[in-house]
Amino acid sequence: MTKGLEPIAIAANGLLDRRTFIKGGAAFAATLSGYTETQGATAQPLTDDSWSLIPGATTPPYEQRSRFEAKVTRTLTNPKGEARVQNARTPLHLSQGTVTPNGLHFVVAQSGAPDIDPAKHRLVIHGMVKRPLMFTLDALERYPKVSRMAFIECGGNSAPMFSPQPIQANLQTLHGMVSCSEWTGVLLSTLLAEAGVDPEAKWLIAEGADAPTLTRSVPLKKGLDDAMIALYQNGERLMPANGYPMRLFLPGWEGNMSIKWLRRIQVTDTPGMTFPESKTYTQLLPNGKAYQFYFVEEVKSFITQPSPGLTMNGPGTYEISGIAYSGEGCIKRVMVSADGGKTWAQAALQAPVQDKAFTRFRLPWRWDGSPAILQSRAYDDAGNVQPTRAEFVTERGELKAPLPPAAFPNQHFNGITSWAIDAKGEVKHVYA
């Protein structure tokens, strides 16, 4: 390494200053080991491979990714579509940046994706309003639209973390029920203004067109704030399983309230106390109280690279990378530890850092080949700090026995995740 460019270690076990890549530039980058072999790319003479000698494939009307990427897929809990809930989890450990491709967006569907004819679908707004309204998709299309980046997370995401012993599974299984997209649609406030909401109204009850329908109560305040009738996902129409042709989208709130295949919003003065919100989405706390109508997905982060299944390629310099998000605002800071939380280094946040959206963090790390425990801890601009797992379970509870990763009776885990690296470079899930 060039003299004067020696990276500065700022926390134990080799965590380097987040500006190292910028300051050290090419000289530093040349020392990177990577999780796959990157060395040996020396100036050998190029030979022509077979694909360089013939014309390439014809461009199809709708592009598919490279056949070599076919293994980057969602994992399915109900691949045969039996009569129970279907979950598909996003491969966050094989993704980069902050946007989830539509084909990899996580899904929770109580009874599969209905095959809705957009020309026949209707959205009704009724109840405590001056003018009940009915919209076709074409009618909605004529309203002013907004686009925003936002994550959506199932309240049951990360439920395996309630297990008393760390479940040995990869990031996709542990935390794969969160995704982030650019959503475009009509603000619900625009439609509610047209309907004329009764001043006594306090709640909205939203219903989907799937069978059985998922019905949830939403405080009117959220409906008048940033709630959206989403029509597009990353620039194209919603995917069938994500709510085609329209869904409610409540930025930062537990996914189950963002009703897909939305067909009805009833304006009321009391919550519906519907079956799913009385049972599934109400949790008993260690203090004996029922935890109902807790909506926000709290500040959270996890390291995506390295993570279980991504083996380290010998001692050397790596980039630790992950995602952070908060349902209460923007990510302000992410700290990373390589010694199980004793010392911390501040990670670089990749711009743009957006409200209620994924924020990518990165930090250079010089791994000397000895065991290490990696953690990340996020802070948001509303003053919230991601709790340690121990802090979290003291307040919200823990399960008595380990459950299969697919079960999620407990909700809203946002504690710190720990990855142990052993001398062989294997990554394991641990509680630290």
Rule CB under 5 A: choose which of 108, 220, 250, 303 binds Mo ion. 108
Q: How far is the CB of 152 from Mo ion (least distance, A)?
A: 9
Give the CB-nearest residue to ligand MTE.
208
Check residue 256 for interaction with Mo ion (CB under 5 A). Answer: yes
Q: Which stretch binds Mo ion (CB under 5 A): 41-49, 151-159, 278-286, 367-375?
A: 151-159
Check residue 308 for interaction with Mo ion (CB under 5 A). Answer: no
- Nearest CA to 407 out of 126, 143, 162 is that of 162
Residues that bind ligand MTE (CB under 6 A): 105-110, 152, 154, 208, 210, 213-214, 241-243, 255-256, 258-261
Q: Which stretch binds Mo ion (CB under 5 A): 4-12, 152-160, 215-223, 242-250?
A: 152-160
Per-residue x/- marks for Mo ion, 203-242, CB under 5 A? ----------------------------------------
8 Å CB contact between 223 and 189: yes
Check residue 176 for interaction with Mo ion (CB under 5 A). Answer: no
Residue 239 or 353 with smaller CB distance to ligand MTE: 239
Q: Which one of Mo ion, ligand MTE, none interacts with residue 320, CB within 5 to 8 A by kind?
A: none
Q: How far is the CB of 255 from Mo ion (least distance, A)?
A: 4
Residue 155 or 425 with smaller CB distance to Mo ion: 155
8 Å CB contact between 187 and 146: yes
Residue 216 or 377 with smaller CB distance to Mo ion: 216
Q: Which one of ligand MTE, Mo ion, none interacts with residue 258, CB within 5 to 8 A by kind?
A: ligand MTE
Q: How far is the CB of 211 from ligand MTE (least distance, A)?
A: 10
Residue 21 or 408 with smaller CB distance to Mo ion: 408
- b/e map of 344-369 (b: 16 or more CB within 10 Å)? bbbbbbeeebbbbbbbbbbbbbbbee
Residue 143 or 294 with smaller CB distance to Mo ion: 294
Q: Which one of Mo ion, ligand MTE, none interacts with residue 106, CB within 5 to 8 A by kind?
A: ligand MTE
Binding site for Mo ion (CB under 5 A): 108, 154, 255-256
